Amino acid sequence: MPQIGVDGARSRCEGRVMVMTVGVLTPHATAGPEIELPELAPVRVRLAKTSDKPVTTADELRERARPAVLDEAVSVLLSEVDVLAFASTGSGYALGYDAECALVDGLRERWGRPFYSTCLSTVSALRSREVERVSVVHPPWFGDELNDLGAQYFRHQGFEVVDARLADLPDEIQPATVVEWIAQRVSPGAQAIFLGGNGFRVARAVRPLERLTGCLVLEANQVLLQSILQEER
């Protein structure tokens, strides 16, 4: 099965004369894509947060994903960016696939910029690699509601979710710790592992986990960036 990883994401940008600027919209207080995307590839990030308070429940995420809220954020970024990205795994789960598609299509049409989102990018990557069985791992702060919605999200797109887990890890999450924790618990039937949560900055765990488990491993910021680079090259 073809693999996708940090080195692959970086190589997509290496021949570029101009550095791409990605406008990132997020409702989350936790730092994530603004740190990890430039670590993965030579891109610039312009960030617009749609909330100045922690947003954790599905209802709150839906509220912050309303077109009017995102349009306001886009209007601040538009003159500075080449592409736009909605970096919120939890928002995709809360909306559901169809509503997320409609949201992204509407934003793309209204603002005339390519627009991407984490969960749609993940579904596309899994389908392109003919994955049928996926294991989903979320950071502990997702809680049971978003963890369950994540499993439903992928099941509704035809994937067999062999398990969906909240990673029982300390607050100071390190890639090596994530690798050890997941490698000891991955279900034997999984073909792929999705590390969900754009604030769950563990792209450096992707390659070690692939070597240890033999599974395709996708991480939220990594797969979002890969989706952008594949279509914008």
Burial class (CB in 10 A: 0-12, 13-18, 19+), 54: exposed
Residue the block writes with tokens 């765990």: 205
Per-residue pLDDT of the chain (233 residues; tens, 9 = 90+): 334 444 444 444 444 445 899 999 999 877 899 999 999 999 999 999 987 777 889 999 999 999 999 999 999 999 889 999 999 999 999 999 999 999 999 999 999 999 999 999 999 999 999 999 999 999 999 999 999 999 999 999 999 999 999 998 876 778 889 999 999 999 889 999 999 999 999 999 999 999 999 999 999 999 999 999 986 65
Q: Tell me the HSE value of 102 on the side-chain side, using a 13 A CA sphere.
A: 8
The whole-angstrom separation of Cα 108 and Cα 174 is 35
Domains of the chain: 6-117+222-232 (3.40.50.12500), 121-221 (3.40.50.12500)
Contact 217, 161 (CB under 8 A): no
The whole-angstrom separation of Cα 50 and Cα 86 is 11
Residue 19 DSSP symbol: P
